[in-house]
Structure formats: structure tokens, C-alpha cells
Amino acid sequence: MAKTDRIDLLDPYDVAQLGGLELVAEGVVEGFLTGLHQSPFRGFSVEFIEHRPYQPGDELRYVDWKMLARSDRLTVKQFEEETNLRAMIVLDASRSMHWSGGDRRLTKLDYAKRLAAALSLIMLRQRDATGFIGFDDEVRSVVPARARTHHWWTLIAAMANLQPGMGTAAEPALRRVTDLLRRRGMVVFVSDLLMERDLAMLALQFLRHRGHQVTVFHIMDPAEMTLEGPPEARFEDPETGTGVVARPRELRSAYAETVQRTIADWRLACRRGGIAYHHVVTDTPFGYVLRRATARRSRLG
């Protein structure tokens, strides 16, 4: 398949016009997996645990050749079983997510739904039990983690039915994860992060303390990166309704610096907490986001 034929590498808006959530997600995943070619893609759940001495009959592909070169000892890498992993996708559906800065762009929520659907399909194909939580100012949807392939349709229905709400209740939603993932698992948090950072990080760090692997997808519209508009405009907070009249040209430089500083602060806070962080702009093809998220040095598992 030619690179330009892979829908996971096309403009997200154009991909969304091809059909419903399930069709788009399936097409994105098929294109993504095809693009991996013969790469040693092992899914999200294959996690290295420790070395042990080589025993006759062990597969040679698990021999740690670097360890052999350093210590002259033949050892193999042990991995946690795929079926032991339970994952929960936590999706922000607050009012601020229901926004797009251009006619030919998906809202942040629509983009996030398609990304979450593709991620859940990949995880289920790897036999990882996958669940879903949707929230705005309260938890709106809860789907417990299951590993069966047809469970994907339950997840898809929950994502598709999730409507934009009011403010954000990130901390209660993330705390709810601990009730659903009793043993160590994986948490994927998808949000525009327009929320109180300290409270959200407290909940994310609590999950890390409980032994969960945590990944944050920070969703932004391209129009949020720079301040454009007429000579004078009214800017309104989509969740509180408060507004202010300003001249974009006068604030453009300070605004851009503030945005970059905010992104940097989230990235640093996540790094310090042992949390994987991905900044995602909604005009980025899904395939690029998936590849970056599953890269060896920052994979979701």
C-alpha cells in the first residue's frame, strides 16, 4: 500500500468523512499496522521484567546478547504475559473539548474519540483487557475492561455516545480508575488539559504510585497555538462563560509564550512523575501519533 493511500497518514478531517467512528478506527489501525512492515511490534502489553539464566529450549530471540558481551553469561529476558495487562482509556468530554478553530478540522473531542478508538482496537488485538471512562464535570460513562475482541463494539458505542458537557472532573474520573483496575495496569488519559494542573497531576501520580503505567495525550487545536483574529475581539472561556475584549495583535507574542510554557510545564510535570506525555495537535494524522506513542522508548506498556 502506498504511503499516500494509508488513511492513517491522511488529514484527520478527510479521514473522518469516510464513515463512522468504527470504520475510521479500523482503517487507521489497518494502515498503521501495515506501515510497520516487519518491525518487531509486540503490542502495548509486552513489558520487560527481569533477566534469568538461559535454559535449554529457551527461544534465542529472547537472549540478551548485550548482557552476554558484557558479562560472558547467557541470560534471557523475561516479559509479563500479554493477558495480564488491563488498560483503561480516560477521555475528557468537557465543553472546551467541543471546539475547533477551523471549518475543515475536527473538534478536539471528535479527534480524541477516533484516537481512543484506534488505541483500544490495537490493545484488544494484543489481547489486552481494555476499558473506558468518559467524563466532563462528572463521570458520564464507564465500561469495565474486557479482553474479548467483540468488546470493542461496546467501547465504540460508549465513545460515540459521549457528548460534550460542562467543566472538568479529571481527579474523580482518574480516581475511579483505581476501582476498575485492582491490579497494576495501564491508564491512557486523553484531554486538552484545560484544568487545574496540580489536582490532575496528584491523581495521575497516585495511579503511578499504585503501579499503573500512565500516558497522557494532550490534545490541542492548531488555532490554540497562536492568537489570531480581527483588530479587536471578545474571547470567552468555553466552560465558565467569562469573557474579555482584547486586541490579538498586541497579545500575540505573550500568548504564544504562555502556550509554549504551559506545554513545557505539563511535559516536565509528567516526566518527573514517570508519566509518558504526548502533545497532539488535531491536524496531525493519526498514524503519526500512534507510531510516536508506540515507539520503543516511549511505548504505552
Domains (ranges, CATH) in the chain?
A: 48-79 (no CATH), 85-298 (3.40.50.410)
**CA–CA separation, 167 vs 95, rounded Å?**
6
**For range 154-158, the mean pLDDT:** 97
Residue 110 makes CB contacts below 8 A (sequence gap 6+) with: 16
**For range 74-78, the mean pLDDT:** 77
**One-letter amino acid of 165:** G
Give the pTM. Answer: 0.80
Alpha helices per DSSP H over 126-233: 151-161, 170-180, 197-209
Whether the pLDDT of residue 81 is over 70: the answer is no
What pLDDT does residue 1 have?
Answer: 42
Strand partners, 161: none
What pLDDT does residue 239 have?
Answer: 64
